[in-house]
């Protein structure tokens, strides 16, 4: 195959499209003609074997269906018997006595079996053996061995371990006359206690198997036979090719569920097809001389060969014309493309066709028009978009930062008013000093600050909270000293702390605690604010996370100002290198983490 591929590539190589099409048509059409005389006979024979093999398998499937239908009929008989009231009474009999009730049960059960046996002449006998050793049968003139020990029979023991009713292969009927029978048997359930109390045996003449396939036509001398999964015959008088069964090829019958194969049997090429009964595992095998079923198909083989030859001749003629029709407009389009490569966008391909090549030329011309427009617009468009993006981000940061300071100032003034009513002037002075410090930090020109300045801003806020709540809210600090000079976006820690106070601890009796832990983790700095407040309900927490993960979260007065403003500012300044995470449990508290890049270019206009 590799050699053939190399030859084809050598022939085609860098040849023109017209020559490639001609070579391709010759390879597809004429080369198969040259090699058909060598391989066609084998391929046709293989196809015939496959088709006839499937046909033979289908014949065996028909025989298997008859067997399955016969088994369904036996199943119906078994259901009639096992659901009968007298049979149920017989299963409960512990022993055979002379009382009227026992004798009546046995008589009625025998009457039922006899009525079934009379209507079906192919039955050799119907027997019910309960687990107490009592036996009742259909009452024919044949003599049964009432003292026969069924439990000692290995076949009977194996029957008791199998589920449901099953067909059992050819065996001698040891308990009556010793004739060969095929048995349909299974355990009987006494439904009053849902326990197995007996066994039903339906014996029938094995010649039934031969009758099922006697009317199936398979060639002139072909025939169908059945064997067990171990190769034992199902009928003592059936047609069994012993020499064929001993051949190595025949072992496929027992290795697969269905299939077909050819074998040389008695000097004749013979087709064997087989299938397996899913209920019994028996093998239904069809045997027919191959020549008997392949006569008509050999004639078709020769007709097909002539048709192929004529088709290849016609293909050669069409190939020459088709290659010219296809390649001519492609060459024109190629010339136009070369001019475009040289930078000439004013060239146009000729549109003199309505097929795919004509549509391709039309789209090529349209593409050139669009390219020319895009070339003129791309520079101005990129500059305009870049300017708009800078203005948008600058406006967003102005709006976000502007809302933080008035909001906090409003809350602080309320705090001062409340304190003024209940405290002396020292408390107000402390609050005022801290407020002035915070306000000065907030209105400073830069958008960024050192971590130590941001922490001083938070400490001033907590001093106000300490006065307002009379020391009931404690703040615990854990900050790695070497992070003092870490540069971060200003005013992103205090809103998180304020959020913990207002939403976590303000509604909690007895105050609470806030832990501020700032540490370095790899290339990131983590700011973790933890409170032991009331927590956030699960549905509200999911809504907060979803809102903060939005790419362009709209700002609304109805939203929580502190948390959402911090999320927006981190997103605007840090992009993918900044994150905010929140976790909470109702009644246990809330944890908010700000994850910031350790080294990042933080650039923004000083007036934002």
- Residues in Cβ contact with 323 at an 8 Å cutoff, skipping those fewer than 6 apart: 17, 18, 21, 22, 25
Calculate mean pLDDT across residues 424-433: 71
Whether residue 485 contacts residue 524, with contact meaning beta carbons closer than 8 Å, is answered with no
In this structure, of 261-270, 522-531, 549-558, the range with the lowest mean pLDDT score is 549-558
Which of 188-192, 545-549, 588-592 tops mean pLDDT? 588-592
What digits encode the pLDDT tens for the residues 337-362?
777 777 776 777 777 666 777 777 77
Q: Is the predicted pLDDT of residue 174 greater than 70, yes or no?
A: yes
Q: Distance (Å, rounded) from C-alpha 491 to C-alpha 519?
A: 18
User: What is the percentage of the chain residues whose pLDDT exceeds 70?
Assistant: 75
Whether residue 415 contacts residue 498, with contact meaning beta carbons closer than 8 Å, is answered with no
Q: Is the model's pTM score more than 0.75?
A: no
In this structure, the number of other CB atoms found within 10 A of the CB of residue 21 comes to 18
Q: What is the DSSP string of 484-516?
A: TT-EEESSSSHHHHHHIIIIIITTSTT-EEEEE
Q: Which residues pair with 596 in a beta bridge?
A: 525, 578
Give the CA radius of gyration of the chain. Answer: 48
Q: Which domain holds residue 587?
A: 395-597
Q: Distance (Å, rounded) from C-alpha 483 to C-alpha 477?
A: 14
Whether residue 531 contacts residue 502, with contact meaning beta carbons closer than 8 Å, is answered with no
Q: Is the predicted pLDDT of residue 528 greater than 90, yes or no?
A: yes
Calculate mean pLDDT across residues 547-557: 57
pLDDT of residue 585: 93
Q: Distance (Å, rounded) from C-alpha 406 to C-alpha 413?
A: 10
Q: What is the DSSP string of 401-469?
A: HHHHHHHHHHHHHHHHHHHHHHS-HHHHHHHHHHHHHHHHHHTSS-SEEEHHHHHHHHHHHHHHHHHHT
Q: How many residues does the chain have?
A: 608
Q: Quick one: which of 444, 450, 529, 441 has its CA closest to 489?
A: 450
Calculate mean pLDDT across residues 142-158: 76
Question: Ramachandran region of residue 408, left (φ > 0), alpha (ψ -120 to 50) or beta?
Answer: alpha
Residue 370 falls inside a structural domain: no
DSSP class of residue 22 equals H
- Which has more pLDDT, 306 or 489? 489
Q: Distance (Å, rounded) from C-alpha 281 to C-alpha 498?
A: 79
Examine the fold and report which residue of 189, 205, 221 is the final residue of a domain before the chain moves on. 205
pLDDT of residue 486: 92
What digits encode the pLDDT tens for the residues 44-89?
677 777 887 888 888 888 888 888 888 888 888 889 998 999 899 8
- Residues in Cβ contact with 3 at an 8 Å cutoff, skipping those fewer than 6 apart: none
Question: Residue 520: which pLDDT band, with cuts at 50, 70 and 90?
Answer: very high
Q: Residue 185, class by beta-carbon neighbours within 10 Å (0-12 exposed, 13-18 middle, 19+ buried)? A: buried
User: What is the percentage of the chain residues whose pLDDT exceeds 90?
Assistant: 14
For residue 126, what are its two tokens? 């119907």
Q: Quick one: which of 588, 594, 587, 589 has its CA closest to 562?
A: 594
Residue 272 falls inside a structural domain: no
Q: Distance (Å, rounded) from C-alpha 488 to C-alpha 244?
A: 90
pLDDT of residue 391: 45
- Strands of 159-295 (E only): list them: 165-172, 180-190, 195-204, 223-227, 259-265, 268-276, 283-289
Residue 300 falls inside a structural domain: no
Residue 225 falls inside a structural domain: no
Count of structural domains, the chain: 2
Residue 243 falls inside a structural domain: no
Question: Residue 416: which pLDDT band, with cuts at 50, 70 and 90?
Answer: low
Which sign, positive or negative, has the C-alpha torsion 316, 321, 325, 331?
Answer: positive
Q: Distance (Å, rounded) from C-alpha 431 to C-alpha 218?
A: 109
What digits encode the pLDDT tens for the residues 535-544?
999 999 998 8
Q: Is the predicted pLDDT of residue 487 greater than 80, yes or no?
A: yes
Question: Residue 558: which pLDDT band, with cuts at 50, 70 and 90?
Answer: very low
What angle do the packed helices 17-82 and 100-119 form, to 10 degrees? 140
Residue 40 falls inside a structural domain: no
Calculate mean pLDDT across residues 254-269: 86
Q: Is the predicted pLDDT of residue 437 greater than 80, yes or no?
A: no
What digits encode the pLDDT tens for the residues 184-195?
889 999 888 888
What digits encode the pLDDT tens for the residues 297-322?
666 666 767 777 777 777 777 777 77
Examine the fold and report which residue of 173, 188, 205 is the final residue of a domain before the chain moves on. 205
Examine the fold and report which residue of 205, 225, 241 is the final residue of a domain before the chain moves on. 205
What is the domain-level CATH number for residue 590?
A: 3.30.565.10
What is the domain-level CATH number for residue 105?
A: 3.30.450.20
Residue 38 falls inside a structural domain: no
Q: Residue 74, class by beta-carbon neighbours within 10 Å (0-12 exposed, 13-18 middle, 19+ buried)? A: buried
Whether residue 470 contacts residue 502, with contact meaning beta carbons closer than 8 Å, is answered with no
Q: What is the DSSP string of 99-143?
A: SHHHHHHHHHHHHHHHHHHHH-TTEEEEEEEETTS-EEE---SS-
Q: What phi, psi does 44 have (nearest 5°)? A: -65, -40
Question: Residue 555: which pLDDT band, with cuts at 50, 70 and 90?
Answer: very low
Q: Distance (Å, rounded) from C-alpha 145 to C-alpha 388?
A: 107
Which of 183-187, 265-269, 593-597 tops mean pLDDT? 593-597
Residue 43 falls inside a structural domain: no
Helices and strands: H and E segment counts in the chain: 16, 16
Helix boundaries (H) for 266-355: 290-293, 295-341
């Amino acid at each position: 195959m590799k050699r053939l591929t190399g030859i084809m590539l050598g022939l085609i190589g860098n040849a023109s499209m017209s020559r490639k099409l001609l070579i391709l048509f010759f390879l597809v059409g004429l080369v198969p003609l040259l090699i058909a005389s060598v391989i066609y006979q084998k391929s046709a024979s293989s196809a015939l074997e496959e088709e006839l093999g499937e046909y033979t398998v289908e014949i065996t499937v028909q025989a298997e269906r008859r067997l399955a239908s016969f088994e369904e009929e036996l199943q119906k008989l078994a259901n009639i018997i096992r659901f009968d009231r007298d049979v149920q009474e017989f299963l409960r009999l512990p022993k055979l006595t002379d009382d009227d009730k026992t004798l009546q049960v046995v008589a009625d059960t025998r009457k039922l079996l006899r009525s079934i046996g009379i209507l079906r002449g192919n039955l050799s006998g119907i027997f019910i053996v309960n687990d107490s050793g009592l036996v009742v049968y259909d009452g024919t003139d044949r003599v049964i061995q009432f003292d026969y020990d069924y439990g000692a029979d290995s076949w009977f023991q194996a029957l008791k371990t199998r589920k449901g009713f099953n067909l059992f292969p050819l065996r001698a009927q040891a308990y009556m006359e010793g004739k060969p029978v095929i048995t349909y048997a299974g355990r009987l359930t006494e439904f009053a206690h849902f326990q197995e109390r007996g066994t039903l045996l339906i014996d029938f003449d094995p010649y039934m198997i031969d009758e099922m396939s006697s009317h199936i036509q398979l060639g002139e001398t072909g025939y169908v036979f059945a064997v067990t999964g171990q190769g034992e015959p199902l009928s003592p008088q059936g047609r069994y090719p012993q020499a064929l069964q001993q051949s190595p090829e025949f072992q496929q019958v027992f290795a697969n569920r269905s299939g077909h194969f050819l074998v040389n049997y008695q000097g004749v090429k013979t087709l064997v097809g087989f299938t397996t009964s899913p209920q019994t595992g028996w093998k239904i095998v069809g045997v027919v001389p191959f020549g008997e079923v392949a006569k008509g198909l050999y004639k078709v083989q020769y007709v097909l060969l002539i048709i192929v030859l004529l088709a290849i001749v016609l293909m050669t003629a069409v190939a020459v014309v088709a290659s010219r029709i296809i390649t001519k407009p492609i060459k024109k389009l190629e010339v136009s493309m070369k001019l475009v490569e040289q930078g000439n966008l004013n060239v146009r391909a000729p549109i003199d066709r309505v097929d795919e090549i004509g549509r391709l030329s039309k789209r090529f011309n349209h593409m050139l028009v669009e390219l020319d427009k895009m070339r003129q617009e791309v520079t101005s468009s990129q500059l305009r978009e870049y300017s708009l993006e800078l203005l948008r981000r600058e406006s967003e940061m102005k709006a976000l930062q502007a809302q933080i300071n008035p909001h906090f100032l409003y809350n602080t003034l309320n705090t001062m008013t409340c304190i003024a009513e209940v405290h002396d002037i020292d408390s107000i002075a402390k609050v005022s000093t801290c407020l002035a410090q915070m306000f000065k930090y907030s209105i400073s020109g830069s958008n960024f600050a050192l971590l130590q300045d941001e922490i001083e801003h938070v400490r001033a806020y907590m001093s106000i909270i300490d006065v307002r709540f009379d020391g009931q809210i404690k703040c615990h600090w854990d900050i790695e000293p070497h992070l003092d000079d870490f540069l971060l976006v200003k005013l992103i820690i205090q809103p998180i702390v304020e959020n913990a106070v207002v939403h976590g601890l303000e509604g909690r009796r007895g105050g609470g605690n806030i832990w501020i832990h700032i540490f370095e983790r790899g290339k990131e700095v983590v700011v973790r604010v933890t409170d032991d407040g009331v927590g956030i309900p699960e549905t509200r927490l999911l809504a907060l996370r979803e809102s903060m993960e939005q790419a362009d979260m709209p700002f609304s007065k109805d939203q929580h100002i502190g948390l959402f403003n911090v999320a927006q500012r981190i997103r605007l300044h840090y992009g993918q290198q900044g994150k905010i995470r929140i976790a909470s449990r109702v009644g246990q508290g809330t944890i908010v983490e700000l994850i910031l890049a350790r080294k990042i270019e933080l650039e923004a206009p000083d007036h934002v």
